[in-house]
Amino acid sequence: MAQYLLSVYQPTGGEPPAPEALNVIMVNLGKLQQEMKDAGAWVFSGGLEAPETATVLQATGSLRPDGTLSSDEVLLTDGPFIEAKEYLGGFTIIEADDLDEALRWGRRTAATIGLPIEVRPFFRVES
């Protein structure tokens, strides 16, 4: 089985749903996550705060041929790294037999919450 990231994208500056609607969405999302757990697909999920709450850490050195950095200095910046039309609002990690199965869970997630879902496999190193 492979693991996949289901990323939930929120529109920047969009109006959040009314509290009553959000409650319905969250109840339905909880039911879907329980189905994922029952199927052995669910690994972890979480919602994220807005981008303005982020802190970005960026190494200042360049990468040497041996894989080390030329400097150990790290810059700290408040706020998001990039400005975008949408931002990562939450995610779910699942295990699936193949991309088709992961896409089925992604479709159901998109239909449940009404937001775009990106389905992406985790990089795997074959041993």
Q: Is 88 exposed, middle or buried (0-12, 13-18, 19+ CB in 10 A)?
A: middle
* DSSP letter (8 states) at residue 69: B
Residue 5: per-residue pLDDT? 99
Contacts of 94 (CB under 8 A, 6+ apart): 3, 4, 6, 36, 41, 42, 43, 102, 105
Q: Which two tokens stand for residue 100?
A: 């088709």
Instruction: Using pLDDT thresholds of 50, 70 and 90, give the confidence band for residue 97.
Output: very high
CATH 3.30.70.1060 correct for 2-13+39-63+70-121: yes
> Is 0.85 topped by the overall pTM?
yes
pLDDT digits (tens, 9 = 90+) for 18-62: 999 999 999 999 999 999 999 999 999 999 998 889 999 999 889
pLDDT at 26 (0 to 100) = 95
Q: Which residue has the higher pLDDT, 53 or 15?
A: 53
The pLDDT score that the predictor gives to residue 46 is 96
> Structural domain boundaries of the chain?
2-13+39-63+70-121
67/15: higher pLDDT = 67
> Quick check: helix, strand or coil at residue 53?
helix
Q: Do 54 and 81 meet the contact criterion of CB atoms below 8 Å apart?
A: yes
